[in-house]
Chain A
Amino acid sequence: MRPAESSGAVQWRLVVPAVLGALALLATLGQGAALVITDVLIMVLFASSLNLLTSYGGMVSFGHAAYFGLGAYGLALPLAKLGLPLWAGLALGPLAAALGALAIGALCVRLTHIYFAMLTLACSEIVFTILFQAYDYTGGDTGITKFMAPRLGLDPRLYGALVLAIVSACLLLLWKVVRSPIGLAIRAVGEEPHRAAALGYSPRMVQLVAFVIAGTLAGVAGTLFAVYQGNAFPDYAGIGFTIDALVMVVIGGLHSFAGGVYGAVIYTLLKTFVSRYVTEWELVIGLILLAVVLVSPAGVAGGLGRLGHALGRRSA
């Protein structure tokens, strides 16, 4: 397995065609397809933010949706209840997620392995339950709706292009993080915290930084999603969304930057199209997941990497 993309440079060779391709699809496929593509893009960001924790930081979070949900409610609540302007909501969404991740992360990084997973689960369930139970403020399970026009009232294709721009910028930022000193520290601590500490790193501090970055980006995804739907529901912070993101990361490929991207694309498209024809799309996902874990633990990214390697060798 060769997890480390050895060069720090952005692989524009891959990025530019991907972004242009997405733009072309948005422009040509019509409004319905634009909605699906936007959904995919938001999930790409959400899964990639979790990927920073799992693939690089060695932290398996079972509560990542909390920050997605905080991103959504950070936008919806001030708009619906305080009548704040839209731009304030757009800023407050990710900010709420960042603060939530800071508070929860400070607790969670004290724990390791399964205990870490359980504590992130407990904390996200606290967020979910508060959103669900405090119906005087959050509307409970009826959520917050009608506080803004879905997609800012834009044509779905235009909103898709906007989301594409924001998600691309966030992924570039994430790439920079991964390839920077703090990224190296996150990977080092994720792999061997004792070795890292004996080299002078403060493992918990490094993990907390990773946790907050991941939470903030999940918050951006949540805010984009709330704008996309024009609503916010407690489920956005629930265990269902967390599991979705984990499944995306594993299918896409652990220990790979692209894992979150591949996983989100495959998962969301399957969910959209398979569920159109058969109701049993979760069964299909479950079987794919089984196959990935048993046959190609490095996921789709790992499989593609091996394929590319083999092809490269043949042509060389």
Chain B
Amino acid sequence: MVAVQIVNGLMEGMMLFLIASGLTLIFGITRIVNFAHGSLYMLGAFLTYQLVSHFAPGSLGGFAASVLLAALAVAALGTLFEILVLRRIYGADDLMQLIITVALVLVLRDVVQMAWGRNDVVVQMPDALAGALRIGGSYFPVFQLAIFGAGLAVLAVMVAVIRYTRAGILLRAATDDRGMVALLGINQARIFTAVFAVGSFLAGLAGGLASPFGNINYLLDTTVIVTAFIVVVIGGLGNLYGALAAALAVGVLKGLGVLYYPRLSMVLIFLIMAGVLVVRSLGRQTVGK
């Protein structure tokens, strides 16, 4: 029972990583905390719902294509937002940057309600991924295993890009020392736009992939963003590997918590988030602002 819950937790954790990876990537490089990340996720889920209806019900290819198209559309929206709005307030104070992404949250929430209403919608699980796989005497839903695989694939691609490509080197330089990037004559605005596009894509992708998993509604945005914040903060803002570790840990903790202390598990997770923040501040002891 415990082992099953741990495995289930790991699988949920990978889903959390998919959600959090884009958020931490965007923060790491642009220092913007994108409150609209949950909204982009929600949009990805709704768009997948819309697109999947054009394919044969239950077809795996149709689902994959829908998720990909939805993620691309979300990426396009994120890019547009970065170019038209965010770009004008880099360097403004913290609150302005946060609040402008909150504006996007409000707008998208209503757009989603206008397009899909206030009722829950459900995306049908692809037939090929329905059912369960027997591993060591226990059954695990195929769909969750597939999500786990997808998470690993995203991670592999991100690591490869960051490690081995010119874009990745620029990204690392931009994270470590933005002044240096400017000195090297690299167009910082273009990096920021690209990062925002990728981060938005990841949000949309996560929303699409998770769409058959539960009900989709216009209230998804805040639940998702709060969860993403937990993972990103515990993992260390801007730290991709930290986000992975935190996502898996939070997933397992939730899984075990459901078993033992169903009511306290969320409180415990927020306590960990608060504890991580406080402990980190001890290392960084500075005069408080």
Please list the residues of chain A having a beta carbon within 8 angstroms of any beta carbon in chain B. Answer: 54, 58, 60, 62, 107, 109-119, 121-123, 125-126, 129-130, 133-134, 189-190, 193-194, 197, 203-204, 207, 239-240, 243, 246-247, 250, 254, 279-283, 285-287, 289-290, 293-294, 297
Extra pairs beyond A246-B95, A289-B106 (12, CB < 8 Å): A60-B95, A110-B281, A112-B289, A113-B289, A121-B226, A126-B274, A129-B267, A129-B270, A133-B263, A246-B102, A286-B106, A294-B88
B270 pairs with A125, CB closer than 8 A: yes
- Whether A286 contacts B278 by the Cβ 8 Å rule is no
CB of A85 to closest CB in B, whole Å: 31
Contacts of A119 in B (CB 8 A): 274, 277-278
A residues within 8 A CB of B105? 243, 286
Q: Which of A109, A247, A280 contacts B288 (CB 8 A)?
A: A109
**Do B280 and A290 have beta carbons less than 8 Å apart?**
no
Of all chain B residues, the one with the shortest Cβ separation from A58 is B289
Task: Please state if A290 and B100 are interface contacts (CB–CB under 8 Å).
Answer: yes
For residue B109, CB closer than 8 A to chain A, the reply is yes
CB atoms of A115 and B111 under 8 A apart = no
Output the nearest chain A residue to B274 by Cβ-Cβ distance: A122
Q: For B226, what are the chain A residues with a Cβ–Cβ distance below 8 Å?
A: 121, 125, 239
Q: Contacts A109-B288, A282-B110 known; A117 to B274 CB distance under 8 Å?
A: no
Cβ of A289: which chain B residues have Cβ within 8 Å of it?
A: 99-100, 102-103, 106
Across the interface, A115 reaches (CB within 8 A) one of B31, B222, B230, B277, namely B277
Residues of A close to B110: CB separation below 8 A = 279-283, 286
Measured CA separation A52–B282 after assembly (Å): 26
Known: A126-B274, A129-B270. A193 touches B95 (CB 8 A): no
Which chain B residues border A58 with CB–CB below 8 Å?
A: 289
Contacts of A250 in B (CB 8 A): 95-96, 99
Given A119-B274, A280-B113, check contact A112 B288 (CB 8 Å): yes
The yes or no answer to B271 lying at the interface (CB within 8 A) is yes
Q: Complex formed: what's the CA distance from A191 to B58 in Å?
A: 58
In the complex, chain A residues whose CB is within 8 Å of the CB of B273: 118, 122
Chain A hits for B114, CB < 8 A: 279-280, 283
Residues of B within 8 A of A130 (CB): 267
Bound-state CA distance A130–B263 (Å) is 9
Tell me which residues across on chain B come within 8 A of A290, comparing CB atoms: 85, 100, 103, 107
The reply on B266 being an interface residue by CB < 8 A is yes
- 10 residue pairs, one from A and one from B, having the closest CB atoms: A286-B106, A283-B110, A286-B107, A289-B103, A112-B289, A122-B274, A193-B289, A133-B263, A282-B106, A122-B273
- Shortest distance in angstroms between B15's beta carbon and chain A's nearest beta carbon? 20
Q: B128-144: which residues lie under 8 A (CB-CB) from chain A?
A: none
Give Cα A125 to B222, complex, Å. 12
Taken together as a complex, chains A and B put the C-alpha atoms of A243 and B270 apart, in Å, by 19
Residues of chain B lying within 8 A (CB to CB) of residue A246: 95, 98-99, 102
CA distance A121 to B114 in the complex (A): 29
Alpha-carbon distance between A290 and B282 when the two chains are bound, in angstroms: 36
Q: Which of B72-94 contact A (CB under 8 A)?
A: 85, 88-89, 92, 94
Report whether B94 and A114 are in contact in the complex, using a CB–CB cutoff of 8 Å. Answer: yes
Least Cβ distance of B28 to chain A in Å?
12
Task: Show 19 residue pairs from A and B whose CB-CB distance is below 8 angstroms, ordered by the A residue.
Answer: A54-B95, A107-B274, A110-B278, A113-B94, A114-B31, A114-B33, A115-B237, A115-B280, A122-B233, A125-B270, A134-B263, A203-B289, A239-B222, A250-B95, A283-B110, A286-B103, A290-B85, A293-B96, A293-B99
Option from B94, B100, B106, B277 in Cβ contact (under 8 Å) with A285: B106
Q: Report B-chain residues with C-beta under 8 Å of the C-beta of A286.
A: 103-107, 110
CA gap between A304 and B100 in the complex, in Å: 22
- B1 proximal to A (CB < 8 A): no
Given A107-B278, A254-B95, A287-B107, A126-B33 contact (CB < 8 Å)? no
Q: How far is the CA of A298 from the CA of B143 in the complex (A)?
A: 50
Report the Cα distance A190→B288, complex, angstroms.
9
Check A247 against B99 for contact (C-beta < 8 Å): yes
> Is B264 an interface residue, CB under 8 A from the partner?
yes
Evaluate contact between A294 and B92: CB separation under 8 angstroms: no
Which residue of B102, B266, B288 is within 8 Å of A243 (Cβ)?
Answer: B102
Given A119-B277, A122-B274, A280-B110, residue A60 in contact with residue B98 (CB < 8 A): yes
> Chain B contacts of A110 at CB under 8 A?
278, 281-282, 288
